[in-house]
Structure 1
């Protein structure tokens, strides 16, 4: 019986499987480094090697691994940052040696005797792509690595200034292994998905995508929407089907070459802003025409002749919520001047936002971008993101992070724009 036929049989028998055993701790020596892994043993013929995202594993990772265990899929979960004593965050994940991950894949396959599929989410996609490529260099054409299944992946070099396109790690353009992306439709990176897919296909990867409508982040414990919880329950079956699909595809005979010149602008400093930053994109803002949480229509052109601050945010984003008090104070300072502050909530329903507004004081209009379309058109990559528009309708500043909006330097810059008003 072929591997993919066995996988389908396991999927059909899943509901009759006994409860999964608690994971054990597995210690593995890789390149003179001792790694501790959570091991979910199973008797099936595939090993899922999970690479933790930048914020580590959570209860939902455990839930999915246990369900896979019931379906005969063995799982190893390794938190690279924890094992390497690196601080949490996407910057640390970019520092992980690809050769180390490649060696980990090799040890997993050799010790288990099973073909390996990589799993990860968010910025864990970076070591996954880099590790696959490192493994390929030593094992060209070897079918022992099935490919990777990535949940809402991020492979940014860093967060670019507002208005500029995302920049990806070079291995994004040098991937030719088969990939399945399971994308949460309300995740903040949804707007960059098409760009990411195009970048991944540059190196020859066959990329498959399944959208998960209504979900913000499958492994984010605070996302308790019914749609997310439903997709979480469906995740093990989707993983099994993805393994079945990826396993049937031919494996590349050689590793894809890294691009000689990656699309990275050397003069652009990546990272989160700590204050107002002069805007470097197209100065003309897109049309913004949305209802607020109370059903009142707002059109950006209605505020022509005023300095405008347009803040994109979400209730599930802690930095977004943390900067609301300073935005309230900003609005109060300029209440009687030629100024308007508007926020745009990303991809949440009006009733969700209204419930939040009953608990948190917000003294400015909150527009509802229910499907995230407006944030995509405004090229929002990180949340919060805020645009400052002058009275003539030109974007003058952008901020891709939370800041103190009543900081004296910010106030002075906004007063200068108001003084420039014709």
Structure 2
């Protein structure tokens, strides 16, 4: 029965909507599910991709389980563009007004819920409400589903910076972190920042799934999610979705009894300014590239030492990343333009299985080795935050350029960079010469 409740569309109908008035004449349109529920009141903020089938089914399941859910779309209500910039620039007033309305309703415990970048307005709203609240126990806290709490995408290889609101949040929060998510290794930093601010923060590790697992759909609903969450639902995703209602209800109970702060944490306004994006190849101060020793999808062993003596493009990517796939043909053309003793491409796949990569390569031509970073360790050591991220190494194995997005690689500008690096001195004679073929990890096998 639970499977039907979670995955089937529209079993519980929303009650007629109501509006929450905001300063300046704006208002939030709110839809209520489970109006007679005696459980927690979830304030569900629609994510930047709009209303989607699986989140709506989760809302309906929570209502069937006795909770009340108020769903509102901040971007739609405020006539804002559905973009990362619009979300990062949003202040806390709309969410604070929603919390005020929830407190007046007399229901509770009150828990904010959202995912990805929308967790930033959630935290800002929680703090704005807290500044005027008479009794902070009126609100339990917030649930952050695979949150993106960063100022923006840094230059590839640099660590991202958390927005100031994270260090200024001391209300209770719970994070649902996919074990295979791109920010899995940064969870400790986020939790420690909450702890330092005084927040009793908690985390659920969601096994075997990636970011956006709760947005999965059998058919395309949003172009930006077409290859990440669309298609036949993997069993591990199905199970995670089935587990989500219990996890949300459990998190609500935990937040409701967590200690509350007596004062509002200080906010560093300078850290609230979004980071300006870096476009195209960025020249870097030369520094040695981190070592790696990985096996590729066909079982062959590769090390960074193979790059010494030639210019090398190291590309971090994943098949679920549309821009990553889009740039493969231009990378093939770039590789074909050079002798492999002068220039080579090495791609490092993030947390996928070799069998999946081999199947992918039967459909998409890839003319360079695909190394398997199955635990994400190498990606972390290289400071990879966004996919794709690429690094151009000189003949001495030093990082000289990086790019944190997909580009067309077979351009005159890129070739000029490569040709310039090719003319620079090679490593000292003690360096390892590049090999023309990888060393097989399975001797005697093709």
TM value normalised by structure 2: 0.85
Contact 2:163-2:272 within 8 A present in 1 as well: no
User: Runs of 5+ in structure 2 lacking a partner?
Assistant: 217-227, 427-446
Q: Deviations over 1:75-104 (max 9, x none)?
A: 122121122222222111012221121111
Tell me which moved more, 82-91 or 393-402. Answer: 82-91
Cα distance in 1 between the residues matched to 2:55 and 2:332: 38
Q: Determine if the alignment matches structure 1 residue 409 to structure 2 residue 402.
A: no
User: Runs of 5+ in structure 1 lacking a partner?
Assistant: 1-10
Cross-structure match for 1:173:
167
Contact 2:307-2:397 within 8 A present in 1 as well: no
Say which SS state the counterpart of residue 106 (structure 1) adopts.
Answer: helix
Cα distance in 1 between the residues matched to 2:355 and 2:83: 32
What does 1:348-359 align with in structure 2 at a 5 Å threshold?
Answer: 348-359=352-363
Cross-structure match for 1:4:
none
Residue 279 to residue 269, structure 1, CA distance change in 2 (3 Å): farther
What does 1:378-397 align with in structure 2 at a 5 Å threshold?
Answer: 378-397=382-401
Residue 344 to residue 24, structure 1, CA distance change in 2 (3 Å): farther
Per-residue deviation, 1:263: 9.6
Q: Deviations over 1:109-136 (max 9, x none)?
A: 3236333101111101101110000000
Contact 1:115-1:146 within 8 A present in 2 as well: yes
Contact 2:20-2:30 within 8 A present in 1 as well: no
Question: Which of 201, 214, 223 is the matching residue for 1:219?
Answer: 214
Per-residue deviation, 1:20: 4.4
Cross-structure match for 1:235:
244
Question: Which of 31, 34, 37 is the matching residue for 1:41?
Answer: 34
Per-residue deviation, 1:37: 3.0
Per-residue deviation, 1:30: 2.1
Residue 353 to residue 97, structure 1, CA distance change in 2 (3 Å): same
Cα distance in 2 between the residues matched to 1:257 and 1:138: 15
Cα distance in 2 between the residues matched to 1:25 and 1:348: 44
Contact 1:191-1:379 within 8 A present in 2 as well: no
Per-residue deviation, 1:261: 6.1
Cα distance in 2 between the residues matched to 1:346 and 1:137: 42
Say which SS state the counterpart of residue 97 (structure 1) adopts.
Answer: coil
Query: How well do the aligned residues superpose, as a CA RMSD in angstroms?
Result: 2.2
Question: Which of 262, 270, 281 is the matching residue for 2:276?
Answer: 270
Cross-structure match for 2:184:
190
| Regions of 4+ moved over 6 Å | none
Say which SS state the counterpart of residue 117 (structure 1) adopts.
Answer: strand
Q: Determine if the alignment matches structure 1 residue 257 to structure 2 residue 266.
A: yes
Contact 1:20-1:69 within 8 A present in 2 as well: no
Contact 1:149-1:182 within 8 A present in 2 as well: yes
Cα distance in 1 between the residues matched to 2:44 and 2:263: 24
Residue 219 to residue 393, structure 1, CA distance change in 2 (3 Å): same
Cα distance in 2 between the residues matched to 1:250 and 1:342: 50
Cα distance in 2 between the residues matched to 1:52 and 1:334: 48
Per-residue deviation, 1:269: 5.7
Question: Which of 149, 156, 162 is the matching residue for 2:156?
Answer: 162
Q: Determine if the alignment matches structure 1 residue 146 to structure 2 residue 146.
A: no
Q: Determine if the alignment matches structure 1 residue 113 to structure 2 residue 107.
A: yes
